[in-house]
Chains A and B, each alone.
Chain A
Amino acid sequence: MSILEIRDLTTAFQTGSGQITAIENVNLDLAEGEILGVVGESGSGKSVTALTVMGLLPRPPARILSGTVRFGGEDLLRLSDSRMQRIRGPGIAMVFQEPMTSLNPVFPIGEQIMETIRAHENLSQKDVFARAVEMLEKVGIPSASTRMADYPHQLSGGQRQRVMIAIALACRPRVLIADEPTTALDVTIQAQILDLLMDLRDELGMAIMIITHNMGVIAETADRVAVMYAGRVVEEAPVARMFDGPLHPYTTGLLECVPSLADDRERLVAIPGTLPEPSRRPPGCRFAPRCSKVIAACRETLPPLESYGTDHRAACIRASEWAAA
């Protein structure tokens, strides 16, 4: 049962030099209690997808050209601002990459958590305070009730990210979107935050969409994975199938190009070239110019996302060959 259903979503930006399509025909589903990993590199459109869902893109310059985002029987894209305001928080909450810039530097962290609770729930001041302390404890901030008065600059990067998660969880959301939640953090702190997200999912039954460029983060946390490239979902599968039998050459490349602690290869298998800029995307398959398996037909038509067995989808015209291999 999907709790969040993204269909055919296309978002564009108006720029000085014309309209640029950031994401195209994106379809994603998030099931109750599931962790969906969305993986892609810069410019793949993964953050734009999240921000569109959250209704956080300023319009203009952003324009939603098509699609629906179904959550709890409603299409979020057609809600009024005030209705959407009420969904953000208790319905869907988001954690951003930069814990430094996402917190307000002139308010104590406790105040920032309580502000969120007050905006959505009618509780006494005492209960609001108690809930905020509970949230800080839940995300592992020691001596939470005294730390409520701390300002963001008094916290370390890992603690700030914990506070961001506490704010996002303050209204007990059903869906949490975490956009590169550990990218700015060191590995030991990253491990703490990933463990925390998984504990919270187990404990609160939230669905989590975790957006990352790091295949390791996917391997650690996700139940299902969607790979995005140049604004489109190119492959989607349960996490083990994605790692064992990827059907899109870009996914294969992503898995091979990062060194792991286990391997002892002399050379890394690099993906040649660079990501195309949104204004200069090639016709046909977006990955064709960098693909080692490219054939003439790839450059002509944009391959649609097609199913290969249950719950495995890929957008590559040669995918059936890789599936048979």
Chain B
Amino acid sequence: MTTLIEATGVTKHFPVRTGGFLRRTITPLRAVENVGLRVETGETLGLVGESGCGKSTLGRLLIRLIPTTAGQVLFDGTDITTLGHRDLREARKSMQIIFQDPYGALNPRMTVEDIVMEPLFIHGAKRSAETRASVANMLSMVGLPSRALERFPHEFSGGQRQRIGIARALILRPRFVVCDEPVSALDVSVQAQIVNLLRDLQRELGLTYLFIAHDLAVVKHISDRVAVMYLGKIVEVAEKRELYATPLHPYTQALIAAVPVDHPSRRARGRAERQRLDGDIPSPMHPPSGCRFHTRCPHVMPICREQEPPVTEPTPGRNVACHLHS
């Protein structure tokens, strides 16, 4: 397997103004801090974590939708963080994103045909019989009827709008697609349709996905490997079955234990096994020293408060950043 995306030392700080009117200072919000990550060609890498952990920011950095503060991102061997305007535009054809909110992501004044065609225009195509045919073809691939072409977004349900968003992302035939919480705004009965569709399209078009979500069961279902993020850091990456069967990082363990049981008969066990994670995620403006998870970790040791744990490889292909495993 070849590596499609290789990120090293990727960091993103957002400047945030704090303090009163007279003592205004700028404190960086450390959304993503020194992250290394590989995405292999043709795989789905799941990225999970709680809100505010930086998973969406990382997804956007990997396709340079926002600029990095430090670090590099190789896309098929080319560092996209330093590309000039023209080269970047060319590279963007290969990397696209599907957004969470199917209501906010589509221009309500444009017809579905124009929405899906717009990326082609941006990359120099003209409206022609050929582009129209490829839009119609794309719509049928995502399961929308051809009569959808002249309609407007408000005429569609949430699930259908997400299909439109997927069609727009795939019309340029990208190689890499960041799926940023693509099903979390949808009704549960519709989620499965979109998850199945994303898998089918991946096979047909040979896509590579970064699948960002907070729902661990959906991520397990769709991913080949899963990365777990906490407060701007990746704490563990593993093949999905390994990760869910034997999570190594205490945060991964707590996250999996917090998922509601799937049958009431497992309830008692679920509660006994649940390592209650007390407290909330600390502020990314003042992340804890050492290991960022040490304030909530049930296995915290003195070293955790002082030193940041190195990323180790306890078994081949598996990474964890925890002093328990270093």
Contacts and interface: CB of A to CB of B under 8 A. Distances in A.
A257 B189 contact: yes
Contact of B189 (A189, A262, A271): A271
B265 A240 contact: yes
B280 to A, nearest CB: 4
Given A194-B260, A219-B260, A220-B267, A274 B214 contact: no
**Interface residues on chain A, size class:** 35 or more
Interface in A121-140: none
A141 to B, nearest CB: 11
A270 B192 contact: yes
A267 B196 contact: yes
Contact of A41 (B187, B214, B254): B187
Contact of B261 (A216, A265, A270, A271): A216
A186 B189 CA distance: 21
A217 B262 CA distance: 9
A268 B196 contact: yes
Nearest to B274: A191
Interface stretch (B21-29, B107-115, B215-223): B215-223
Given A187-B216, A219-B260, A260-B217, A274 B157 contact: yes
Interface string A213-236: 111111110100000000000000
Contacts of B189: 41, 253-254, 257, 270-271, 275, 290
**Interface residues on chain B, size class:** 35 or more
Contact of B263 (A188, A219, A270): A219
Given A188-B255, A213-B187, A275-B187, A240 B264 contact: yes
Interface in B247-262: 254-262
B157 A262 contact: no
A260 B276 CA distance: 20
A149 interface: no
A253 B278 CA distance: 35
Contacts of A187: 50, 214, 216, 255, 258-259
Given A187-B50, A270-B192, A275-B187, A216 B255 contact: no
A261 interface: yes
Contacts of A269: 192
B250 to A, nearest CB: 12
Interface string B11-30: 00000000000000000000
Given A41-B187, A253-B189, A267-B199, A188 B217 contact: no
Nearest to A140: B278
A195 interface: yes
Contacts of A270: 189-190, 192-193, 195-196
A22 interface: no
B261 A259 contact: no
B1 interface: no
Contacts of B158: 274
A2 interface: no
A216 B259 contact: yes
A42 interface: yes
A158 B258 CA distance: 14
A258 B193 CA distance: 11
A156 B160 contact: no
A272 interface: yes
B126 interface: no
Contacts of B42: none
A254 B188 CA distance: 7
Contacts of A219: 260-264, 266-267
B206 interface: no
Interface in B10-65: 50-51
A239 interface: yes
* Residue of A187, A188, A268, A275 contacting most chain B CB atoms (<10 Å): A188
Interface string B161-192: 00000000000000000000000000111111
A187 B221 CA distance: 17
B202 to A, nearest CB: 13
Contact of A188 (B187, B193, B254): B254
A46 B211 CA distance: 31
Interface in A119-169: 156-159
A271 B192 contact: yes
A307 interface: no
A128 to B, nearest CB: 28
A192 interface: yes
Interface of A: 41-42, 156-159, 186-192, 194-195, 213-220, 222, 239-240, 243, 253-254, 257-262, 264-265, 267-272, 274-275, 290
14 contacts: A41-B189, A159-B280, A187-B255, A191-B260, A214-B188, A216-B260, A240-B264, A243-B265, A259-B220, A265-B221, A268-B192, A274-B157, A274-B159, A274-B160
Interface of B: 50-51, 157-160, 187-193, 195-196, 199, 214, 216-218, 220-221, 241, 244, 254-267, 270-271, 274, 276-278, 280-281
The 8 closest A-B pairs by CB, nearest first: A216-B260, A270-B192, A260-B262, A268-B192, A186-B50, A259-B221, A191-B258, A271-B189
